[in-house]
Amino acid sequence: MTDKTTQPRVLILDTTLRDGEQSPGATMTHDEKLEIAGLLDEMGVDIIEAGFPIASEGDFAAVADIARNSRNSTICGLARANIADIDRCWDAVKHARSPRIHTFIGTSPLHRAIPNLTMDEMAERIHATVTHARNLCDNVQWSPMDATRTEHDYLCRVVEIAIKAGATTINIPDTVGYTYPMESAKLIRMLLERVPGADSIIFATHCHNDLGMATANSLAAVEAGARQIECTINGLGERAGNTALEEVVMALRVRNDILPYRTGIDTTKIMHLSRRVSTVSGFAVQPNKAIVGKNAFLHESGIHQDGVLKNVETFEIMRPEDIGLYAKNIAMGKHSGRAALRSKLRELGFELADNQLYDVFVRFKALADRKKEVYDDDLIALVADQAANAENDTIQLKSLRVVCGTAGRAEADMVLTIDGADHTTDATGDGPVDAAFNCVKDLWKHKARLQLYQVHAVTEGTDAQATVSVRLEEDGRIVTGQAADTDTIVASVKAYINALNRLVVRRAKTGPGDDVKMVNYRDSV
């Protein structure tokens, strides 16, 4: 048996709240960010990259509050290579028990051309900004963005400058998911060999998944000497996403025989975090996603089922319990009480305050009346729905009636409570969802465009709850709404309204059209 305590430690930096949240439509509310940060901290993530403080007042407030509430994790904020960004970042992270400033600049020829800096000018900029960050904070991370497409000689030169200026972690981003495992390892080895002072800092690997190699590239970098992996829950992130935390952590655990490195992650928390991130970001996890997909531990074929029944190791390389996934049984019946519900929710990873538990209990009773069997997944959807659709929302659904079928257009009539007052209308449409959405548009006028409408059945059976995701876009602002109900049309309308309520919050935060002006991290100075 291997003694893991003597194995080299690989730090996990989670950037779900920064790089992950950058996915169009993945915007999370302030409270959701705080909740996710709390769960990451509890799971044992070493560093939480909580946001990009200069990007908006909302980002700043979220990073500052996450820093204030942090317990064990280091809290990191992102800053471009300029003094204003770094000062703003420090003002947000300084409240943490253990703060970190992460500053970066694009060093590849393509990225150098944007601010139009010569190699020498960029080198000077790196020296000045890392020095400034280090004067504020003992823990400074520096990244040469697009490192995998930067000339090796220049990369060595700027990494050396950053180390001399005081950077304690050097992150090597594969910004566009361009590298492949052998090359990823070679790059880290080259830096360790050629850069003076490289042995005094930690190298990090930050991969994107454009060619589906983010996990492999991250692990290859670790084998070559990187000791920090940057990743997100569910691989959330722009385009094809970032390295998935659950994949690298479980790979290091399952293949510890050939990857003898340890992390501080409590893997039994993975499933709960995956579900929460999926809900609050509005990004559903594909069923065949490694580790956390719905099918990851399902065995359909007879041969597989037979093998698993005789010995689970025939077709399973890890146990569902390792990631916090427990056997699905009938969770609760309509006679179950509040204490039983609290204990079941605890088992599923939810710690609710008394008033939240009361709300969920009322909804649970209503669901148990409509649905024969209430499964774990039903309860998870219920809690998510309760959290997403708050009592103080500007727009609320009071009632809905729909008539549809083969005889002509669908008809809907609806009452919405908007800012406390009831408003009634009716509308027709191409099908019941269209008719109901037309009622919403009539009662709460807006010009947001529907970008995505997705329905998932939570469990099997015709009485199953449906979870619906709706993504809207208005003047460059993208918001995603979610809701669950046994009635698909009701769930659809609630998800639409949830997205509109998020739009109200976004408009208030940024002012009309301000998102378009919002700072973009791609302009790295």
**Contact between 142 and ligand KIV per CB under 6 A:** no
Instruction: Please report whether residue 19 would count as binding Zn ion according to CB under 5 A.
Output: yes
Position 206 contacts ligand KIV (CB under 6 A): yes
Q: What ranges in 255-321 are assigned the alpha helix state H?
A: 270-281, 302-310
User: Is residue 85 at the binding interface for ligand KIV, with CB under 6 A as the rule?
Assistant: no
CB of 15 to ligand KIV, least distance (A): 7
Chain residue whose CB lies nearest Zn ion: 19
Contacts with ligand KIV by CB under 6 A: the residue count is 10
Q: Does 19 bind ligand KIV (CB under 6 A)?
A: yes
Q: Binder to ligand KIV among 23, 108, 129, 175 (CB under 6 A)?
A: 175
Residue 39: left (phi > 0), alpha (psi -120 to 50), or beta?
alpha
Q: How far is the CB of 199 from ligand KIV (least distance, A)?
A: 23
142 binds, among Zn ion, ligand KIV, none (CB under 5 to 8 A by kind): none
Instruction: CB nearer to ligand KIV: give 209 or 278.
Output: 209
> How far is it, in rounded angstroms, from Cα 233 to Cα 336?
33
Q: Is the CB of residue 471 less than 8 Å from the CB of residue 452? A: yes
Q: Which residues contact 485 (CB under 8 A, 6 or more apart)?
A: 385, 465, 466, 491, 494
Distance in angstroms (rounded) separating the CA atoms of residues 236 and 16: 7
Smallest distance from ligand KIV to CB 171, Å = 6
Comparing CA positions, the residue from 66, 21, 65 lying closest to residue 40 is: 66
Residues 208/174, Cβ–Cβ less than 8 Å? yes
Write down the residue that tokens 């204030």 correspond to.
Answer: 68
Question: Nearer to Zn ion by C-beta: 16 or 279?
Answer: 16
Separation of alpha carbons 16 and 276, rounded Å: 12
Window of 168-176, 328-336, 365-373, 450-458 that interacts with ligand KIV by CB under 6 A: 168-176
Residues 86-125 interacting with ligand KIV (rule: CB under 6 A): 104
Taking CB under 6 A as the criterion, the residue among 12, 28, 145, 325 binding ligand KIV is 145
Q: Judged by CB under 6 A, does residue 203 bind ligand KIV?
A: no
Amino acid identity of residue 121, one-letter, is E
**Residue 367: closest CA among 389, 385, 354, 392:** 385
Helices (H) and strands (E) in the chain, counts: 17, 16
Interface with ligand KIV, residue 179, by CB under 6 A? no
Contact residues: ligand KIV, CB under 6 A = 19, 104, 143, 145, 171, 173, 175, 206, 208, 521
Contact residues: Zn ion, CB under 5 A = 19
